[in-house]
Amino acid sequence: MPDDTVVIDRAGLDRLVDALHARGYRVIGPQVRDGAIVLDELDSGQRLPAGWGVETAPGRYRLHRRDDPAVFAHSAGPGSWKQFLHPPHRKISEIGSDPEAAAPIEDAPVRSAFLGVRGCDLASIAVLGRVLGEGSCPDASFTARRKDLFVVAVDCTEPGGVCFCASMGTGPGVSAGYDLALTERVDATSHEFLVEVGSETGAEVLAELRTRPAAATEIADARAAVSEASDRMGRQMPDVDIRALLRESQESPHWHDVASRCLTCANCTMVCPTCFCTTTEDVTDLTGDHAERWQRWASCFELDFSYLHGGSVRSSSESRYRQWLTHKLGTWYDQFGSSGCVGCGRCIAWCPAGIDLTAEVGRLAELAEESDDAER
């Protein structure tokens, strides 16, 4: 947090939303709906979830009222920013009565501003950028949606019961990739946000707000709050070479144990902020004169995901869970140069069976150690 950090008050946060609207951005941020804190378009800063917190555990997510008016004192909800950059369902082409006149659908996304992006989700946007935005065939829809994206990040000072971003190196503090970064501070007499600038555009927007310089004590307190959050993670990934562990555990009996609990419902991949797989489906009207091709999210937990002529390669739930976990934490490095997990904990909270991938990796590590001890 640099010495030129400034402070805005709660009304200043509302003015930030207004300033982004005035610049033509569609502002997206957290808000309460249907018993959860979801991400959706904000028409004003008053829609932010003031005074709401969440309780999370394996297979559990509950809202609760806080004793203060904090707006960012909650951990990840069921939705991630991925849905706005890589939509779950979109039309990609249309075919009329003349097949030669088939036309692809060109995306014309509105410029977006994301308000309240935490460290884990900031890292997930960067991961998707490598997966979908780089390489020899970048996804044109993704790159168009990410272009001119304005990001207001938020340091996390109250991690949830399933968070483990600290052990994945993605939080709780935010890193590069933002235009403005906020650290919320609430006490009995004030409700303010320390603001750090991360880009020229961010500086231009901030110049439109009423600010004051942050005192050295305020900066120190904010740093301490983020540091303390690292020590209060609800979960942590085992401190082992996970890539090597997964390579050596391909035949572990533990996969069968996980499969006995896993419903292969694909909830974990749907809420994951980095899972990117898609499939296509064609639909026609009743006359057969008009057809559309749609792209939708797919999951490696689906039986047909690995279908080849003659049947599915991974027909058991054991093999499908193993494929998901070993790719997410292991072979993702080989493809994209980093882990595919950012430690947000969504897959743990939204698993109906309460399966915790940190516990499953921990158990694999225990079994590997027991095996090594037996061989000595």
Where are the chain's structural domains?
6-230, 242-375
pLDDT for residue 291: 87
Which candidate, 231, 222, 146, places its Cα nearest to that of 182?
Answer: 222
How much is the pLDDT for 3? 60
For 137-192, the pLDDT digits (tens) are 899 999 999 999 999 999 999 999 999 999 999 999 998 899 999 999 999 899 99
Each residue's pLDDT tens digit, 54-85: 999 999 999 999 999 999 999 999 999 999 99
- Asked whether the beta carbons of 174 and 198 are under 8 A apart, the reply is no
Q: What is the pLDDT of residue 376?
A: 63
Following DSSP, what letter does each residue of 7-48 receive, concatenated?
EEEHHHHHHHHHHHHHTT-EEEEEEEETTEEEEEE-SSGGGS
How many other C-beta atoms can be found within 10 angstroms of the C-beta atom of residue 123? 28
- The 10s digit of each residue's pLDDT in 286-331 is 887 888 899 999 999 999 999 888 888 899 999 999 999 999 999 9
Question: How many Å apart are CA 185 and CA 108, to the nearest integer?
Answer: 38
Residues 6 or more apart in contact with residue 81 via CB below 8 angstroms: 28, 39, 114, 117, 121, 124, 125, 273
CA dihedral 59, 64, 67, 71 (to 10 degrees): 80
Q: Which residues pair with 293 in a beta bridge?
A: 93, 282
The answer on pLDDT for 1 being more than 70 is no
What percentage of the chain exceeds 70 in pLDDT? Answer: 97
Average pLDDT of 345-364? 97
Tens-place pLDDT, residues 298-309 = 999 999 999 888
